[in-house]
Amino acid sequence: MFGGGADFRADPTGTGAQTANLMGRPAPGQALSGPAGAGTFPSQEGSLSRLDARPRVFVTSDLGVLGLPELLRPVQDHAAVEVWSGDHPPSPEELLQGSHEAEGILCLLTDRIDAALISGSPRLRVISSMSVGVDHIDLPAAEARGIAVGHTPGVLTETTADLTWALLLATARRVVEADCFVRAGRWTKSRRWAPDMMLGTDLHGATLGLIGLGAIGQAVARRASGFGMRVLGWTRSGRAVPGVDAVPLEELLAQADFVSVHVALTPDTRDLLDARRIASMKPGAILVNTARGGIVDEPALAAALSEGRLAGAALDVFAEEPLGPQSPLLNAPKLVLAPHVGSASIRTRQRMATLAVENLVAGLLGRPLVHAAS
C-alpha cells in the first residue's frame, strides 16, 4: 500500500538522510538537506530527488537509539540515503520499493533479501547486513549478480557467548521459575526454605557439548573452563580447539549434560537437532540455542520437555520470529525463552552498526568489504 498520506520526515537525523515510511510518499516540493547535495522532492512517486546524482542507499531501519545520525555520516559522503522509519519492519513489497533504485542496502536479519528483491534492484552493488548470520540473504543470487554481501562477525562474539551463559545458568538453576514463584506469592511462611525447593542442575563439574566451534562456540568454551566443566565439541570441519575434546555429534549428544548450539543456519544444518537426535540426548540434559531457529525441531523439543526427557532448555532464536501464539513451545515446561537478543548490548549493537556502515561504504566505493559473507 503505497502512496497514502505523506508520512515522510525530512532529515530528522540532521545529517541529510531522508527518513521515509514508505507507506506514504514524500510531500511534493519537500526540501532535501544535507552535507552533499540538495534538491527537492518531485511531485511524482518516488522518494529521493532526481536532482541528486549520488548513488542511492536504502537503510531498512532507523536503528533505534544507536545514534543513526553519527553512524550514517560516512555513507553520506558517497550516497543519498533513505531510511525506513515505519513502525514495523518493511514488508517484502516495501523493501523492494526502497531498494529498487538503490546501489546499496543496509539491512537487518529480519529483512528477507531474496532472489526477487535482488532481481528487482538492478543497480544494487552492495548488501550490508547488521548481523553475523546471513541466512536471510540469497547469497547465490547476490553472487550471480556480483553484489558484495557484508556482515558483522567478531564484534558480537563475546556478547553472544555471555547471553549463552546467562541462559545456561538461568535454565540450570531455574532462575525465571524462581522469579515467577516469588512474584506469585507462592513463597510462603510455611515453605520459607525447603530442602527440595527449586532444585536445579549443577554446571560446575558437568559436561558441556558445543555444536559448532566457530568464534562464538569457542568463546562459550573459554567461559566453561571457569566452571570446571569438561567440554566436548562437534564441528563438521573437525577443527581442533584447545580445551575442547572433538567428538562425533552422536557421542556429544549421548554424553553432554548441557548442549549449546553455535552453527550457522544452512541447508546442511537445518533440522540438525531433529526428533531422532533430541531423543538421543542424555536423559536430564539441558539444551540451549542462541544460533538460529530452524536448527532445532521445536515440536520435538517441546515434547521432550513435556515428557521430562530433558531437564530444561533455553531458546533465543526460533524457526518463525516472533514466536507465534500457536507455538507448542509456549506450553512446554522448564523452557526459558528470549526474543533473539544474543548480541543485544548497547556497545555491541553500536559496533555492529558501525561495521555494517563500513562494509556498505567499502562496497559503494568498489573496495573489498571489511567482512564479506560471500
Segment near ligand GLV (CB under 6 A); pick from 62-70, 129-137, 227-235, 293-301: 129-137
Segment near ligand GLV (CB under 6 A); pick from 89-97, 127-135, 193-201, 247-255: 127-135
Query: Which residue in 287, 274, 289 sits closest to 323, CA to CA?
Result: 289
Taking the C-alpha atoms of residue 103 and residue 57, their distance in angstroms, rounded to an integer, is 6
Closer residue to ligand GLV in complex, CB, 76/290? 290
Burial of 5: CB neighbours in 10 Å, binned 0-12, 13-18, 19+: exposed
Query: Does position 109 bind ligand GLV by CB under 6 A?
Result: yes
Query: Does position 216 bind ligand GLV by CB under 6 A?
Result: no
Helices vs. strands in the chain: H and E counts, helices first: 11, 16
Q: Which member of 19, 30, 76, 131 binds ligand GLV (CB under 6 A)?
A: 131
Interface mask toward ligand GLV for 136-175; x: CB under 6 A: --------------------x-------------------
Closer residue to ligand GLV in complex, CB, 116/341? 341
CB of 310 to ligand GLV, least distance (A): 23
Q: Using an 8 Å Cβ cutoff, are 312 and 281 in contact?
A: no
Interface mask toward ligand GLV for 323-342; x: CB under 6 A: -------------------x
Q: Which member of 26, 34, 98, 133 binds ligand GLV (CB under 6 A)?
A: 133
Q: Which region, left, alpha or beta, applies to residue 205 given φ > 0 means left and ψ of -120 to 50 means alpha?
A: left
Query: Does position 132 bind ligand GLV by CB under 6 A?
Result: yes
Query: Does position 106 bind ligand GLV by CB under 6 A?
Result: no
| Beta strand residue intervals within 49-185, DSSP E | 56-59, 80-84, 104-107, 126-129, 148-150
Sign of CA dihedral 182, 183, 186, 192: positive
Can you read off the three cell numbers belonging to residue 216?
Answer: 562464538
Provide the residue type at 372 as one letter.
A
For residue 317, report the phi and psi dihedrals to the nearest 5 degrees: -140, 150
CB of 76 to ligand GLV, least distance (A): 25
Can you read off the three cell numbers belonging to residue 34?
Answer: 544535507
Q: Which member of 18, 343, 354, 359 binds ligand GLV (CB under 6 A)?
A: 343
Query: Which residue in 143, 158, 261 sits closest to 209, CA to CA?
Result: 261
Segment near ligand GLV (CB under 6 A); pick from 40-48, 94-102, 126-134, 319-327: 126-134
Query: Does position 302 bind ligand GLV by CB under 6 A?
Result: no
Closer residue to ligand GLV in complex, CB, 18/164? 164
Q: Which residues bind ligand GLV (CB under 6 A)?
A: 109, 131-133, 156, 342-343
